Amino acid sequence: MTFHGVHIPLITPFAEDGEVAVEALEGLAHAVLDEGAAGLVALGTTAEVATLTGEERRTVLETCARVCGERRAPLIVGAGSADTRSTAEALDALKAWPEVTAALVTVPSFVRPSEAGVLAHFGALAERTPVPLVIYNIPYRTGQSVGVDTLRRLGELPMVAGVKHAVGGVDLDTVMLLADPPGDFAVLAGDDPFFSALLALGAPGGILASAHLRTALFAELAETWRSGDTARARALGHRLSALSASVFAEPNPTVLKGVLHAQGRIPTASVRLPLVPAGRASIEAVLRLM
Ligand SMILES: O=C(O)C1=N[C@H](C(=O)O)C[C@H](O)C1
């Protein structure tokens, strides 16, 4: 399994009554695929997954699976917690969904198990998962950093297909990893403002919340770096990085939802506590950059 291009971690739109707005979710899913997204991610951070009930998670997954099934598009599903056993159970449950291409599994958060513990966690999961794993490396959310040597060892595990790499910049480990990644291991950009920089270093794609907006341009950016038109890629990359940075001016996905609502693509800009809606100024700043 190899990944390339732009994968969209879909937001969960809410209706006026607070319920999941299923039609809007389905519309967004089709729209981003129409615009050139390579695939979808269901139940990522951007979906406010921590605030969804079990039934709502099922509804979101059903909707994304239906769309990806119809469109023959890859579907990555967020699964995982700080505990190895419950993560393994969540992965087992994905057997029921033939449309699921891979699971996005975070480095265990809050526990800070050491890199040896991270390796043991993914080693145990790799032995029994029914779908390939994409490791979500996001130390500013998990509290656990994972260096290049460990990432390479993780990339060599059976059933580990890639990493969503979101370390808040382009550090030495990122450069070293992209210089020599394990075979069939996709290093996907997971920090939107650094998407272009990671593509320039050889990343095959990314998982990017801000690519709900201007999806076609994000897809074009990946293709332009791939084709070697560096002058065009650099200029487009700078423009999209500015857009991404403004989408992340407040906690994700508050600004994104404000913009999608202003565009009439979702019924409300509502987010669930502890997130609070983005301010008007942040939303207008993004709209100006569109
Ligand atoms: O849900 C995701 O997947 C993403 N989450 C990141 C975050 O909220 O920190 C951002 C990234 O664009 C995708």
Note the ipTM here.
0.93
User: Is 239 domain-assigned?
Assistant: no
User: Can you tell me the mean pLDDT for 148-152?
Assistant: 97
Residue 286 lies in a domain: no
pLDDT digit string, tens, across residues 234-249: 999 999 999 999 999 9
- At 54, the pLDDT band (50, 70, 90 cuts) reads very high
**Number of structural domains found in the chain:** 1
Mean pLDDT confidence for 216-230:
97
- Give me the amino acid identity at 97: W
Mean pLDDT estimate for the chain:
97
Q: Does 46 contact ligand 1 (Cβ within 6 A)?
A: yes
Of 137, 180, 129, which Cα lies nearest the Cα of 157?
129
CA separation for the pair 257, 248 (Å, rounded)? 11
251 within a domain of the structure (yes/no): no
Residues sharing a CB contact under 8 Å with residue 134, sequence separation 6 or more, in sequence order:
3, 76, 102, 103, 104, 105, 161, 162, 163, 164, 186, 188
Calculate mean pLDDT across residues 59-75: 98
CB 231 within 8 A of CB 221: no
Span 282-288, average pLDDT: 98
Please report the pLDDT score of residue 146 as a whole number: 96
Which atom of ligand 1 is least distant from the CA of 209? 12
Residue 180 counted as domain residue: yes
Question: 110: buried, middle or exposed (CB in 10 Å: 19+, 13-18, 0-12)?
Answer: exposed
| Residue 119 is assigned to a structural domain of this protein | yes
C-beta of 256 in contact with ligand 1 (< 6 A): no
- What is the CA(30)–ligand 1 centre distance, in A? 20
Is position 252 within any domain?
no
256, part of any domain? no
Ligand 1 atom closest to Cα of residue 44: 1
Q: Known binder of ligand: residue 46? A: yes
- Whether 95 is catalytic: no
Percent of the chain with pLDDT over 90: 98
What is the pLDDT at residue 1?
A: 63
Predicted confidence (pLDDT) per residue in 112-144, tens digit: 999 999 999 999 999 999 999 999 999 999 999
Q: What is the CATH number of the domain that holds 32?
A: 3.20.20.70
11 Cβ closer than 6 Å to some ligand 1 atom = no
Cβ-based neighbour number of residue 230 at 10 Å:
12
Burial class, 73, CB count within 10 angstroms (exposed 0-12 / middle 13-18 / buried 19+): buried
136 is an active site residue = yes
Which domain covers residue 154, as residue numbers?
A: 5-227
